[in-house]
Amino acid sequence: MTMARALLETARDEVPALAREWLRAGAGERDLLRAALLAGTHEVKPSPIGGQVHAMMMVSSALEITALLPGEHAYAPALFNLDRVKNSQARDERGGDGDWVMPDAPTLAPEEPADGAALDRAMRGWDADAADRAITGLHARASQDEVFERLWPWALRDFRVIGHKAIYAAQTYRALAALGWEHGRDALRSLALGVLDRDPYEATSARESEAILALFPNNQGRLARLPADFERAPADPSASAELCARLRDASPEEAADEVVRAASRGCGARSVWDALRLRAFEQTMRTPTIAGAHPVTSINALRRVSESTRVASTRRLAPLQGASWLSLFEALLTTRASDRGDPRTIDALAGDAPSSKDTLRDPFAVADPREAGRRALALVAREGPDAFARQCAASLIR
């Protein structure tokens, strides 16, 4: 029995004992996380693409956190991920569609070619069956990068379900790069179905959906207006701050135009991404909730796409979509304001510079966000960003 199958057939409260057996038999963190990914993609319906799908989306993040933790603590992210799979499995069983299971993969003729154009046609036509067949063939006959070059644009197409299509794509790419492409067929099939998810929460009206989907071709049309040296221009913090400010009140279409105008003034891709991150963190500060975290995770995913692709049009499209998506997030988060939020703009945080008393204090040992921020700045100034990353990882397993 495979580890993934054993996980699915084991009761949730017995999974820690199962994991101990695996570890005693010589399994490592990657083996546990591979089992989590394969079990999740087999048993958890990728629609709605959010909620229970986080059990698969988190695998690459768990891998990254594992690398930051010492000794036996390194197993904690994998154990948590296994538990999340069991939680998602239970949610799937209780879902309105019954207990979903990944259907058998389509049978391909030996001479059937890997057809990237067929995947494009299926994605363009929102045809799940055709996409399933095309992605199965591509996995069998193409490399990971070749397959994802076909998938990236479609993962960027649709903001609905708060950016999870891009997030799932970026996280799946990272997970398969670490865990092995040979294990990727059903993960790709799950991803393709998720990318074709059509607003199952019915959170947007037909008119809103039409406007959201129109951003994709409209931003493709803006690509020709980006300067040739857009990706070579050096980082400029002042340009990033200016663009961040201009994005605050922009509509989705206006936000993309602001990126184009900034680029024409010499603001390069690195500065644009910094502006998008700053704006995303403003939104998260103001709405420190689950929904409020998604501007940051979406921009992170779009940046991952931009860094992973070798296709210039995809690389340039990602920040334009990111700017438009942040405007869509603004409209969403305005309705979900939190009393716990910090309404300040990102530039106002300069007043939170650390003092000498913050130097040796743990940023995560205090409840006040402003004090935690000062301590975090002090830690970065003293020991660098890697030390802060390790402290973040350690705080997750306390």
What does the alpha-carbon distance between residue 326 and residue 255 come to, in Å, rounded to a whole number? 8
pLDDT level of residue 201 (50, 70, 90 thresholds): confident
In degrees, to the nearest 5, what angle opens at C-alpha 299 toward C-alphas 296 and 303? 135
Per DSSP, the residues of 38-60 read HHHHHHS---SSSGGGHHHHTHH
Q: Is the pLDDT of residue 114 over 90?
A: no
Q: Is the pLDDT of residue 358 over 60?
A: no
Determine the length of the chain: 398
**What is the model's pLDDT at position 361?**
76
Residue 25 CB neighbours (<10 A) = 8
Q: Is the pLDDT of residue 193 over 60?
A: yes
CB 49 within 8 A of CB 190: no
In degrees, to the nearest 5, what angle opens at C-alpha 197 toward C-alphas 196 and 203? 145
Specify the amino acid at residue 289.
Answer: T
Per-residue pLDDT tens digits for 274-291: 999 999 999 999 999 999
CB 161 within 8 A of CB 199: yes
Cα separation of the two ends of the chain: 33
In the chain, domain spans: 3-94, 116-195, 207-334, 353-396
Whose structure tokens read 């998810």? 197
**What is the model's pLDDT at position 338?**
66
Q: Is 30 exposed, middle or buried (0-12, 13-18, 19+ CB in 10 A)?
A: middle
In degrees, to the nearest 5, what angle opens at C-alpha 153 toward C-alphas 305 and 47? 90
**What is the model's pLDDT at position 328?**
97
pTM: 0.96
Tell me the average pLDDT across 124-149: 96
